Amino acid sequence: MLGSLGYSIKQAAVQVFRNRAMSLASLFSITAMMLILGLFFVLIVNVGVAMETAKMDYDTVSVYLEDSVTYAEANTMAETLRAMPEVSEAEYLDKDTALSQWKSQSWGENSYLLDTLPENPLPNSIEVKVKELSGADAVVEKVNTFNGIEKIRYYKETVEKLVKITDSLKLAMLIIMLFLVIVSIVVVSNTIKLTVFARQKEIEIMKYVGATNWFIRGPFLVEGIFIGIISAGVSVGVVALAYSKIIGMMSRDMTLMIGMPMVSVGFLSTNLVWVFLALGISIGACGSIVSMRRFLDT
């Protein structure tokens, strides 16, 4: 067993060196495919994190009250909502406090510009936090039974749109990945096929003396896997380096400005290593097996 493996590794190294031009072509093809997939991977992971963050940020239902609603009535509404199993918090927010928060959170140093407002444009409200975003509909249904409600604002539709966008991106990545994987398998298959043609007589002799199909196939299989592993290593290095440079160039203020956290380089690299190794080995092995089908009984 070990002797057969050693023979396969030795012959694979010889074959890669002999056909280095085509081996490099396969290497570049798989690497290019993985770099494109790496870009999609970075995008999908960060969009996924942004979506989860959005879910946490959009877990509030804002119930705007008419001016005729008294403080006691508002508190009664809040207590009713707090009793619901879908609700984690329900607090009354008067218009003056709401204006103060708006100034500090949204306007910052420029909040003085709002001092010239003739009157407070914000209504009194009840801020309701739901345990799960799916519970927002039940809260809205309950609020609609109250009197004195001016408007209800919640973000379930916004988050659902984000989910649809994320799912569409994942589907697009899958389609592109399948196409690129097929192209890479064809390139690797053609590369190894050249070696097979060069050793056709040798393979026939080995079959005549009783060598098994897997013993003959071994060196070509190792050659394809070897090309796939090198491609995976190069791709992970390039993507991780480029991503770390992007993260380094982005200041904390810029991250806050785009409104989403960025996945760490370590987390991204660790996951890319496993994904790309699996892809590289699979592509190399499949390309080798396809190239040998003509010469061996499968």
Q: Are 243 and 188 members of one domain?
A: yes
Q: Is residue 297 part of a domain?
A: no
Does residue 50 sit within a domain? yes
- Domain housing 20: 2-55+159-292
For residues 269 and 137, membership in a common domain is answered with no
Residues 150 and 188 in one domain: no
Residues 193 and 287 grouped into a single domain: yes
CATH code of the domain covering residue 126: 3.30.70.3040
Q: Is residue 204 part of a domain?
A: yes
DSSP-derived secondary structure letter, 19: T
Mark whether 272 and 146 lie in a shared domain. no
Cα–Cα distances (Å) from 297 to 8, 178, 219, in that order, read 19, 27, 17
6, 43: one domain: yes
Query: Do both 134 and 165 map to the same domain?
Result: no
Within its chain, how far is the Cα of 229 from the centroid?
22
What is the rounded CA–CA span in Å between residue 260 and residue 62? 22
Sign of CA dihedral 237, 240, 242, 248: negative
Give the end of a domain, one of 154, 172, 190. 154
Identify whether residues 268 and 140 lie together within a single domain: no
Q: What is the pLDDT of residue 256?
A: 47
Amino acid 250: pLDDT: 63
> Which pLDDT tens digits describe the chain residue by residue (298 residues)?
555 667 666 766 666 666 677 677 777 877 887 888 788 778 777 777 777 766 666 778 888 988 888 888 888 998 999 999 988 888 888 877 777 766 665 555 665 555 556 676 678 888 888 887 778 888 888 988 898 888 888 777 777 777 787 778 778 877 887 887 787 777 767 766 766 676 667 667 777 777 677 777 777 778 778 888 888 888 888 888 888 887 777 645 445 444 556 777 787 788 888 888 888 888 777 777 777 666 665 4
pLDDT of 160 reads 74
Last residue of a domain, one of 132, 154, 176: 154
Residue that is last in its domain, among 128, 154, 180: 154
Tokens of 35: 């770099």
**For the whole prediction, is pTM greater than 0.85?**
no
**What pLDDT is attached to residue 7?**
61
Q: Are residues 229 and 271 in the same domain?
A: yes
Could you count the other beta carbons within 10 Å of the beta carbon of residue 8? 21
The verdict on residue 298 lying in a domain is: no
Overall number of domains in the chain: 2
User: Do residue 227 and residue 197 come from a single domain?
Assistant: yes
